[in-house]
Amino acid sequence: MTKEKKNSHPVTDTTLVKGKLESFPYSKGILSQSLLSAGLTLDQAYQVAQEIEDQFYNRKRKEITSSELRKLTAKVVAKRFGEELSQSYISISSGPRTMQVLYEDSSLPFSKGILSQSLMAAGLSPEAAFAVSARIQRNLDRDKTRTITHDELRGRVSKVLEDEFGRTYARNYLLWRKMREPDKPLIILIGGGSGVGKTSISRELSHRTGVGRLVSTDIIRQIMRMMFSLELMPSVHISSYEAFKTQPQSGMFDNPVISGFLEQSRLVLVGVKALIERAIKENISMIIDGVHNIPGLIDPRQIQGAYPVFFVLSTECMEAHRSRFISRAEESNRSASRYLKYFKNIRTIQDYIIEQAEKFDIPMIDNHSLDKSIIQTLRLVTDKVAQFVDIPQFSE
C-alpha cells in the first residue's frame, strides 16, 4: 500500500460541497468510499481524493456544487486510471435517487453523503459510516413508498446504530442531527503549543461534525498586525515563542518567554472573545484553534448563549514534536529552521499551557496519533454537547 502523505493545508476554511439540502465540508473519506464502490483500490481512491483536495487548496476554492464535484472526480479518475473506472464512478454516484425525505415545508432526495457525515460525527469511521449509509439506502430502495419523513429516517438510522454499534452511537447520531439546527451555537476552542496538530484536528473535527467555520488565533493576530503599528502594539508583530523580545527585562514571570507569550495572548484574545460574541449573536457554530487559547485567560463557563467546548492538545514526545515541524515544512511554505531554532521556547510554552489546563480542569489530549486523537476529540466534544442538549429517549 502506498504510504499516505501527510497533508494539512494552512487554511482556516475548508471547501464546502453545496448539495440541495445543505452545504457540508469536503471529505476525502466519504469520496474515497464512493470510489471504492466504483471499483478503485484503496490507494487509487485516496490518490483521487487527495488530488481534488489539493486542487481546492491551490485554486483557493471555497465551495463547489455536488454536481461539479462528481464531474471533477470523474475527470481525475479518467486521467489517472482510465475511462472505464471513470464511467463506473459516474454510474455509482449519479444513480437514480427516487426516495424523497419530507421536511416541514420541502422534500429533498436522500443523501448518503450527508448521512455519512452525521454518522462520522456519531463516532463511526468513514468506512463504517459509508457502509451504514449504503445499507439504509438499499433498505429505502426496497420500500414500496417513495417518501419518508426526516423523523422516520432518523428513527431507522438510530435503530441500526443501536442494534449494530450500541446505544451510545445511536444517541450520538441523534445528538448531532439535532445540532444541525441548534438553538445556540457550538463554540469549540482548541488550545496547545505550536506544532502539536491543532489545525489538522480542527479540520478533521469540522469534517466529522459539520461545523464549517474554522478560525485560527494566528489569523486574528495577523489582522491585528495590519490594524496596529509595531510601535503601538509590538508583541503582535512577532511569533508567540519570540514575543519575549518585545518585553522589558522585568516581567510578571521569572521566565521572559512566558511573560511575552501572555502579553501577546491577552491582546489576541480580545479578538477571540469579540469573534465569539459575534457568533453567539448570529447563532453560528465555529471552531477556534490556536496557541493563544490559554486556560484561565479563557473560561468556557463564562461563555453565555452558546454551547462551549474547550480542550488542549499536546505532544509529550519531544522528538515527535520536533519532527512535525520538519514534515510541515515539506508540505507548505513554512520553513522548519525558525521553529527548530526556538524549539526550547515552544516546549516551554507548551508546558505552561498544560499546567494551566491542569489547574483549571480543562481536558487534554496527547496528539501522538491523528487517527486516535480525532476519536478522542470527537468523543470529548460529543460527551460535552450531550450535557447541554437533551435527547429524551436516551435520558437516564
Q: What is the pLDDT of residue 284?
A: 93
3 state SS for 320-365: HHHHHHHHHHHHCCCCHHHHHHCHHHHHHHHHHHHHHHHHCCCCEE
Whether residue 114 is contained in a domain is answered as yes
Total structural domains within the chain? 3
338: Cβ contacts below 8 Å, ≥ 6 apart: 239
Whether residue 160 is contained in a domain is answered as yes
Q: What angle do CA 46, 47, 52 make, to 5 degrees?
A: 100
For residue 120, give the C-alpha cell.
462520522
Together in a domain, 119 and 209: no
Contact 206, 286 (CB under 8 A): no
Q: What is the CATH number of the domain that holds 253?
A: 3.40.50.300
Together in a domain, 101 and 87: no
Average pLDDT, the chain: 85
Question: Looking at the predicted structure, is the pLDDT value of residue 11 above 70?
Answer: no
Query: 125, 157, 178: which is the final residue of a domain?
Result: 178
DSSP state of 298: B
Together in a domain, 230 and 364: yes
Whether residue 1 is contained in a domain is answered as no
Whole-angstrom distance, CA of residue 12 vs CA of residue 213: 8
Together in a domain, 197 and 141: no
- pTM exceeding the 0.75 threshold for the entire prediction: no
Q: What is the pLDDT of residue 31?
A: 85
- 162-219 confidence digits (pLDDT tens): 999 999 999 999 999 888 888 999 999 999 999 999 999 999 998 888 888 999 999 9
Query: 131, 162, 178: which is the final residue of a domain?
Result: 178
Whether residue 173 is contained in a domain is answered as yes
Whether residue 2 is contained in a domain is answered as no
- Read off the pLDDT of each residue in 353-374 and give the average, rounded to a whole number: 94
* Pick from 178, 204, 63, 74: nearest CA to 118: 178
Q: What is the pLDDT of residue 253?
A: 61
Q: What is the pLDDT of residue 2?
A: 43
Together in a domain, 171 and 222: no
Together in a domain, 158 and 248: no
Together in a domain, 269 and 322: yes
Question: Looking at the predicted structure, is the pLDDT value of residue 256 above 80?
Answer: yes
Distances (CA, A) of 53 to 113, 213, 351: 17, 18, 34
Residue scoring higher pLDDT (234 or 73): 73
Instruction: Give the start-end residues of each E strand in 116-252.
Output: 147-149, 186-191, 214-216
Together in a domain, 81 and 40: yes
Question: Looking at the predicted structure, is the pLDDT value of residue 149 above 80?
Answer: yes
Together in a domain, 163 and 138: yes
How far does Cα 259 stand from its chain's mean position?
Answer: 31
Q: What is the pLDDT of residue 12?
A: 40
Q: In the chain, what is the straight-line distance between the N-terminal and C-terminal CA atoms, in Å?
A: 46
Cα atoms found within 13 Å of the Cα of residue 49, Cβ hemisphere only: 21
Whether residue 348 is contained in a domain is answered as yes
Together in a domain, 135 and 216: no
Question: Looking at the predicted structure, is the pLDDT value of residue 272 above 70?
Answer: yes
Q: What is the pLDDT of residue 263?
A: 92
Together in a domain, 82 and 117: no
Please, what's the largest Cα pairwise distance for the chain? 78
Whether residue 137 is contained in a domain is answered as yes
- Read off the pLDDT of each residue in 122-127 and give the average, rounded to a whole number: 87
Together in a domain, 279 and 349: yes
- Host domain of residue 126: 96-178
Query: 151, 178, 205: which is the final residue of a domain?
Result: 178
